[in-house]
Structure formats: C-alpha cells, structure tokens
Amino acid sequence: MTNETSSQLFPYENPPPEVIKKLEEDIGMTEESLKEDIKTLKEWMVKQPHLPNIDDEKVLKRFLYYCKNSLEKTKMKLDNYYSVRGSSPEYFNNRDPLDPELVESINTMFFCGLPKLTPEHDRVCIFKIFDTDVSKYNPTLLFKSGLMALDCHVSEERCRSHILIYDMQGGSIGHVASLTIPIIKKFFSSGLVGMPQRYSGFHIVNAPSIAESLISMAKSFLKDKLSKRTYVHHDMTSLHKFIPKEILPAEYGGTFPMTMNELKENTYAGLVAHREWFKQQENLVTDEKKRLSKFNSLDQIEGSFRKINID
C-alpha cells in the first residue's frame, strides 16, 4: 500500500514510506481494508449512472485517505467532486495551462505550492500577487489556476493536510472590489467543498486595512472550527509560530532556498506537465439527468458552506 510507484510530476517533498504508513494506520487504513473499500467504491460508482466511471485506484485511495477512511464520506466527496465540474464550468472547463489569458493571470497572481512539508507533514501553499496592475487581475482565472494545482495533487499528494497562506501585499481597493459575494460564494462552494483535500489552517499576511471587511465576510462562510484557524498576521514573527522558517522563502522571513518567483515557475511547470491530463478530465462530470436520487449533493453545497474537510 505504501510502496506504490510514483509518477509525480510536481517536484515536491512527500513523507517517507514509514510516515505514510503511520498516517494511514492512524485512520485505520490497511492493505486488506483498502482493497475491499476500493472494490466497494468501484461497485458503488457503477450503480450511480450520473457519475463518470472512475477506476483509477490511486485516485480512489486518495479520496479515502482525505475522508479519513470513511466510505460514506468518500462517496459524498466523490459525488461533490464530479458535480462541481458540471456546475462550475468557469473553473473546470478549458483548463489549458498554455492559454494566454490563463498565463497572464498566473503571472499576475498565483497559488504556489511550497516543496518542503511541515514537521506535521502538511503542505503549505501561498496565494500571492505578482503584478499589482488591477486591469490584469481576474479573480475567476485566479481561482481556476489554484484549483488546477490542487486538482493535480489528488493522485500525487501524500501530505496530511493543506495550509493556505493569502499574501495580500500589493492589494488595492480595486482588487477587493472585484471579489464580490457571488464570486467568493462560488469559490467556496465549487472549490473547497468540491475538492477532497483537508485544510488545517488559513493564514493572511500583509493585509491592507481595506481588506478587513473582505476577511470577515470570507470567515463567515467557514465552519466555526476552521474560522478559528484563520489567522491574520501583522508580522512574519507571528506567522513563524505556525509555520517553520525552513518551509518558507525569504519573502516571508524564511530560509527555504527559492524565491516566490521561482516557486511560481515551479508550480506552473507542474501544470504544464499535466496539460494532457487536464484535457482528459474535461468530460468527467456528473450527468444530472441520470441521477437516481432526488438528493443532489450540490443542493447541500449551495445551501451551506459547512462541509469543508478539515483536520
């Protein structure tokens, strides 16, 4: 179970096999249970005519892992994952990393994964503004590229959970004004709820005073447990209490030997390496006309932002 061959296209650190084994044991995942659960998931998906036929065992295993080895939660998360792709085409269609508009967005603001894991084996990712020209800022494309990066990680990522840092340096009233309630609502419902990853904390740095209302509004969409794990840092010393310096680049008082521009290129190269994969995923969405149950997981998503997976 823990010695699978890696086809990892992102140059990120993953936990060593003995740590992965311990993380899996902690949630009751064994060779025997995994084999049986994957078989059960495959049989369940075949009986759900609205779902695409997914038989990639590595993907199913990751869903089980992020859902803490719960079959019922995994079924719900798989349903959510493929449902949001149909309901949010602005995020999940036309995901060509070489598209000029997407490239411009990535060079303006991007979601950068940090290669080194925390001592708790969490992956840290940073949203950062690289170009302050508001005319180039497109929040939909920003969220699209961030979700692309997270999506690629589903079959490769072996971290315990994710920690997100939002660097608002260079943010202006124009940036804040473009993040309307419908856009934020769609991102939370289609992004965080639809993706399988768990989140152990949000950290905001370099926030201008004009962003206070935006931060309060975003926190109101989160479950209480995660809202309490959302921190606004007024200096990097405060951030270092949660994330070790060796994880962070120099821009955040860290010692990791890559700049944010280099980390941006690092993450972007991973997207380009997955270009064909993105094309293959284009039609893997639910067909709601074939759904047997009246219950639609998206109804629950839209009605509440309380289903985000957290530790």
- Domains, the chain: 13-311 (3.40.525.10)
Q: What's the average model confidence in pLDDT over 282-286? A: 89
Q: What's the pTM value of the predicted model, to 2 decimals?
A: 0.85
pLDDT at 47: 93
Q: What's the average model confidence in pLDDT over 209-228? A: 69
Q: Is the pLDDT of residue 213 over 80?
A: no
Q: Is 172 exposed, middle or buried (0-12, 13-18, 19+ CB in 10 A)?
A: middle
Least confident of 7-11, 45-49, 173-177, 260-264: 7-11
| H or E segment and range at residue 262 | helix 260-273
Contacts of 174 (CB under 8 A, 6+ apart): 134, 137
Q: Is the pLDDT of residue 257 over 60?
A: yes
Q: Is the pLDDT of residue 250 over 60?
A: yes
Residue 295: pLDDT band (50, 70, 90) is low
Q: Give the distance between the most distant pair of CA atoms in the chain.
A: 55
pLDDT at 179: 76
Contact, 126 vs 167, CB < 8 A?
Answer: yes
